[in-house]
Chain A
Amino acid sequence: MSELDPTAPAARTGGRTAPLDDEAELVARAADGDRVAFSRLMEHYQSACYGLAWRLLGNADQAADAVQDAFIHAYTAIDRYRGGIFRSWLLRITANASYDILRRAKRRPSQPLPEPDEGEAELPDVATSNPAAEAARSEMYRHLELALRQLPEDQRTAIVLCDVYGMDYNEVAAMTDAALGTVKSRIHRGRLRLRELLADHRELFGG
């Protein structure tokens, strides 16, 4: 599957980042200016933020820059955080930072839009009791990442925000400055396109 390698420049984690046990307390302390608490939160969620940025931008360096921008913005805005799921709040900031980078790239035609990174794929280093199932899942994610990279940018952005990171249509519309109907259309067409792209690997998805 060497043709799939360019889609995975970063190692996958074992899954989604779960909330911290003492997250509410850490958030409260961070809002009061506790830098240790803030850095713990960022350390915990950096993989989630980076994953979102990378899937939106398709470039490791730009993704890291977007996450750094998001952390700075979160640091200045955390005192205005008004509850809710902290991970979602941080991911929205990261998505905005990533989308800002995309917009800047569009405004400067001399700078090409980010291309998918090249490099060796790195298998997730996760101990599992079922290596065969884990390998199949890893293979499925690789195909999925590659298929996402092949979507038009507007569809990819909407799909990633909505389907991968669970934002609702209104959030995606606000973030991408698009009408609600446009966002829905992009998502539906994007899913259909993904299905076409993954038609040869339907067995991996249980289809």
Chain B
Amino acid sequence: MDEQHHPDDERLAAFAAGDGEAGLAMHVDTCDRCAALVSDLSSLRTAMAAMPDLVPSRPLQLLPPVAPAPAPRGGLPALVHRLFAPAMAAGAALVLVGGVGMAAAPVPAGMTSAPADAAGQERASAAAEEAPGVAAFESYSADAARSMGTAFASDSLTDGAEATPLVREDSSLDPSEPLAVGGQPAMPWAAITITGAILLIVSLVLRWTVVPGAPYPPTYPGA
């Protein structure tokens, strides 16, 4: 067959792919040039269909980098999990308030200089009888003040008066009761602080024992 009568190559390619005109078959059977082209294209397709897979150039992450959603919890773990943050906040607040209270508390106003008059001495004696320990401290204080002489007597603390022992403002109180502050019961700052600290510790311990956290770093099966 004359070359100028060859079908268009694209038609031959379609024929080789099986979606061309059936009328080309007769020509391909009789034309060496077109038969070679069809044969080459078929071989090419066969070779491409068998091309092997390729090894990735770097390790691929087989799973999306998201941690699995935590499973819903119930019972005590759920309760602890829910109360953890409020308990921590409350504990921290108590520690803060207690700490500030202890730091800012003034020298107890009830610890005043006892009057040097006789009535005062009598009250001091009565208090000494009720609280021997306090009396011993007061006696020591008085001795120390006297030994310091006039230099100490002019100290601003004593404001020129003779150093006198510290006694309870109201010696009729039970010595086992807290010292009075300005006439009011002392705020239990230490107790507040300790309560807050206990709340913090208990919250943390419960959080980490009853509700164990997710492992860090997260691990993925098969990764």
Measured CB to CB, the residues of A under 8 A from B are 9-17, 35-36, 38-40, 42-43, 46-48, 50-51, 54-55, 60-61, 63-64, 67-68, 71-72, 75-76, 124, 140-141, 144-145, 159, 163-164, 166, 184-185, 187-189, 191-192, 194-195, 198, 202, 205-207
Contacts and interface: CB of A to CB of B under 8 A. Distances in A.
Nearest to A125: B55
Given A54-B54, A195-B37, A205 B222 contact: no
Given A35-B68, A39-B221, A205 B40 contact: yes
Given A192-B9, A206-B43, A36 B52 contact: no
B215 interface: no
Q: Which label, helix, strand, loop or mixed, suits the secondary structure of the B interface?
A: loop
Interface in B171-217: none
Interface in B124-168: none
A15, A39, A63, A188 interface centre (most CB from chain B within 10 Å)? A188
B50 A16 contact: yes
B195 to A, nearest CB: 45
B80 interface: no
A84 B47 CA distance: 25
Given A71-B64, A75-B63, A192 B50 contact: no
A191 B51 contact: no
A75 to B, nearest CB: 5
Given A12-B53, A46-B62, 12 more contacts: A16-B50, A36-B221, A43-B62, A54-B54, A61-B57, A64-B58, A67-B60, A124-B52, A188-B13, A188-B17, A191-B41, A207-B36
B56 interface: yes
A187 B17 contact: yes
A14 B64 contact: no
B55 A50 contact: yes
B44 A39 contact: no
A135 to B, nearest CB: 14
B118 interface: no
B85 to A, nearest CB: 29
B52 A141 contact: yes
Interface of B: 9-10, 13-14, 16-17, 19, 36-37, 39-41, 43-45, 47-58, 60-64, 68, 220-223
A13 B53 contact: yes
B63 to A, nearest CB: 5
B63 A67 contact: no
B54 A12 contact: yes
A111 B185 CA distance: 78
B51 A72 contact: no
Contact of B19 (A67, A184, A189): A184
Contact of A64 (B17, B19, B56): B56
B52 A202 contact: no
A163 B68 CA distance: 39
Contact of B53 (A17, A43, A189): A17
Nearest to A38: B63
A47 B53 contact: yes
A35, A76, A159 interface centre (most CB from chain B within 10 Å)? A35
Contact of A42 (B37, B55, B57, B62): B62
B48 A16 contact: no
28 contacts: A10-B56, A11-B55, A12-B53, A13-B53, A14-B52, A16-B52, A39-B220, A42-B60, A42-B62, A47-B53, A47-B55, A50-B53, A67-B56, A67-B60, A124-B52, A141-B47, A141-B52, A144-B47, A163-B44, A163-B49, A166-B49, A189-B10, A189-B13, A191-B44, A192-B41, A195-B41, A206-B43, A207-B36
Contacts of B37: 195
